[in-house]
Structure 1
Amino acid sequence: MNTSSSSNGAAFIDLDRTLLSGASGPIISAALRNAGVVSATRLPGEDALYRIFNAVGESLPSMLLARQGAAVMKGKARHDVVAAAQNACDDLLQLVRPLAASVIAGHREAGRKVVLATTTPNDVIATFARRMGFDDVVATRFAVDEQGLYTGELDGPFTWSAGKLAAVRTWCSHHHISLSESYAYSDSVYDEPLLNAVGFPQVVNPDARLTVMAAARRWPIVSFDNPDAQAKPPLQSSDIQKVGLLFARPEVFPFVKFSFTGVENIPSSGPVVLVANHRSYFDVFAVALTVAKSGRTVRFLGKKEVFDAPLIGQLASLLGGIRVDRASGSDEPLTHAADALSAGEMVAIMPQGTIPRGPAFFDPQLRGRWGAAKLARMTNATVVPIGLWGTEKVWPRNARYPNILQITSPPDVQVVVGKPMQLESDDPDLNTARIMDEISLLLPEEGRVAYEPTDEELIRTYPSSYKGDPRAEAERRPGTD
Structure 2
Amino acid sequence: MQSAAIFDLDRTLIAESSTPIFMKHISQAGLRGESSVPFAAPVAEGFSRALRAVFNTVGESRLLMQPAKLGVRAAAGWPRINVDEAAALAAEELLELVLPFARTAIEEHRDAGDLLVLASTSPIAFTKPLADALAFDGVVGTAWKHDGDSYTGEIDGSFVWGPAKATAVREWAEANDVRLDRSTAYSDSYYDAPLLDLVGTPVAVNPDLRLEATARIRGWKIRHFDKSDGIAKFGGRELQEWTRPLMRPEIVAPYADITFHGVDNIPAEGPAIVVFNHRSYFDPTVMGLLIARAGRNVRGLGKKEVFDVPLIGRMMESSGGIRVERASGSDEPLEAAARAIDGGELVMIAPEGTIPRGPAFFEPELRGRWGAAKLAARTHAPVIPVGLWGTERVWPRSQPLPDVNPTERPPVSATVGEPVDLKYRSPDADTQRIMRALVDLLPDEAREHREPTEEELMRTFPPGYRGDPNAEVDRRPGTDT
TM-score in terms of structure 2 length: 0.49
TM-score in terms of structure 1 length: 0.49
Bigger radius of gyration among the two: 2
